[in-house]
Structure 1
């Protein structure tokens, strides 16, 4: 038995997004293997049914965090955890970095609506946090072969690919391995969630589900236009956005643009329906089971190239045929395994034709058969196998000699992501670049979060 600490910045509760879902299932899988698991979140911990110890530690409170780090033998972390707790940066425990989400590339898109200086600062902070993780981890886990090639270059640039790490591990799987996002091996539970419950959607509706948040790197606008176009020919198509209010991320401008476009085209509440909250994690299966197809559309940029769209796993889980935009790793899977239709980016006509195809009963049956064949390979216990092996027999990286700062090309300066000094730097940054009103708004929001927590 190994004592495993998992650190995340996402809230763990009834409503969870991708990183928290991944943490939840990692903890359950390792606990099921007989290990002792503890999860620390730097935001909110409000799941009473957790079969493992679950605690919240404010970012930067190293005094509260250190006993958890000392308790553990293996520490798995994602996001900014390493830069928020000094004891983790210097830890002699076995460190595993979960970098399935290339957060610096994501921030290139997520920060577009921010003032230029703040956008640059956020991208730099994400880059520095990721660099720190890649320098110090004994094992790095990513989500796809595309990501693995990307991170191999990153590790080489940081001085981690050396004779020491290569000698007994020439494919470097011992340093950088795959752990994709997974799906629940237990089938979803049916229930009444959309049909006859959501106004305008009944038993005769053909439901397309958008199975996650609406973010700026996606392209819901072309999809809304395609559905509006298709609705001129048939009146049974319904596009249902499963959630627009992420439990841990501020609403992006694309959400409002999507509402506005649907209203402008005259399809809001009819052919296009928005759920303006976030579906509880345990209830999502009932919503997905009532859909006829899953959709995911995005723009083409560097985030797309290395993204791993976790909502696609939910489509696999419930057996949905799919319409997806070309350009990411899952598009290759959908195309190669014939799980649905892959369309060019920003092509409304192609989207409308693809939707009509996956709603055709004969083609849908073929796609569902193929989905059933593929999905078992993505079950959580299967995709977690590299981590399960490591936790059973943990070991330090070949270039670790008792000093995390000396790993690779050296740690260099690290941007602290919490604490009074960080807060003062950020206040000064926003005062200089956005003015007093913006600083006051951010202070009010921070105080409001603290009061809720």
Structure 2
């Protein structure tokens, strides 16, 4: 079973895209269920895919319990370990996915909080990290650089120990890399989708494609200011943000630089 902590549907942010495409790959070899948080996608979404899709309620164990007890292996993002501590009691092997470095995101998102309030939220985040490092049988992340980050955290939580070292000095049997998650096939250009199509973008313009949202922790304002400086020398450069609102309405305005970007 795969658990996504973000919306899975026709419109998705990074985490949903990752778990959707991982499910497409794993579903070819295993009987697989993909769980996504409410709201549910359109009924016809993923009907032809090699996995079954269902929705759950965050923190409501009965909404996911049956699937969790059915599974032999569960791949889950870090916060899900805190949302569902009952996962400790299932028989499945638990694989914690560190693709989304939520502590780093949280620090950028809440940097303007007063120290008292920020400290309370920080303690919750540390407890969430502790839960995942305690529960996980195996850990994955999306790049070698991320692996360096998570190795340090695993060391601090006692998982780089003599027993795991004896089993594998590289610790690859504890933590390894699973790339982000994209279709297998090479992309093929079949029709214009941006150049000469989007308002203000000509067919011969040079595009700089921003791969994420306008989140504080990605610092999109620096990129916007940089392109503004380039504009002084050449006017054929366009910085493109394909998505400016989170597909989950509950998160649409959280930690966003939308208004600042418009200004």
Per the normalisation by structure 2, the TM-score is 0.87
Q: Mind listing any 5+ residue stretches in structure 1 that lack a counterpart?
A: 261-453
Q: Deviations over 1:100-129 (max 9, x none)?
A: 222112210022355554443333323221
Higher helix share: 1
Q: How does 1:389-408 map to 2 (within 5 A)?
A: none
Q: Determine if the alignment matches structure 1 residue 184 to structure 2 residue 183.
A: yes
Partner of 1:301: none
Alpha-carbon separation, structure 2, partners of 1:19 and 1:173: 23
Partner of 1:35: 30
Alpha-carbon separation, structure 1, partners of 2:160 and 2:236: 56
Conserved 8 A contact 1:210-1:240: yes
Following superposition, which runs of at least 4 residues in structure 1 exceed 4 angstroms of deviation? 113-118
Alpha-carbon separation, structure 2, partners of 1:122 and 1:184: 37
Q: How does 1:43-442 map to 2 (within 5 A)?
A: 43-46=38-41, 48-50=44-46, 51=49, 52-114=51-113, 116-189=115-188, 190-248=190-248, 249-251=251-253, 252-260=255-263
The Cα shift of 1:7 comes to 1.2
Given the alignment, which residue of 15, 18, 26 partners 1:19?
Answer: 15
Alpha-carbon separation, structure 1, partners of 2:38 and 2:5: 6
Secondary structure of the equivalent of 1:124? Answer: helix
Q: Mind listing any 5+ residue stretches in structure 2 that lack a counterpart?
A: none
CA RMSD between the two structures: 2.1
Alpha-carbon separation, structure 2, partners of 1:168 and 1:218: 37
Per the normalisation by structure 1, the TM-score is 0.52
Alpha-carbon separation, structure 1, partners of 2:221 and 2:64: 43
Conserved 8 A contact 2:78-2:132: no
Answer 1 or 2: higher relative contact order, Cα 8 Å, separation at least 6: 1
Secondary structure of the equivalent of 1:77? Answer: strand
Conserved 8 A contact 1:13-1:44: no
Conserved 8 A contact 1:76-1:96: yes
Alpha-carbon separation, structure 1, partners of 2:40 and 2:171: 36
The Cα shift of 1:82 comes to 1.6
Q: Deviations over 1:176-232 (max 9, x none)?
A: 112231432223353332233222212132222223201112333333233233323
Alpha-carbon separation, structure 1, partners of 2:151 and 2:142: 13
Residues matched between the structures, number: 255
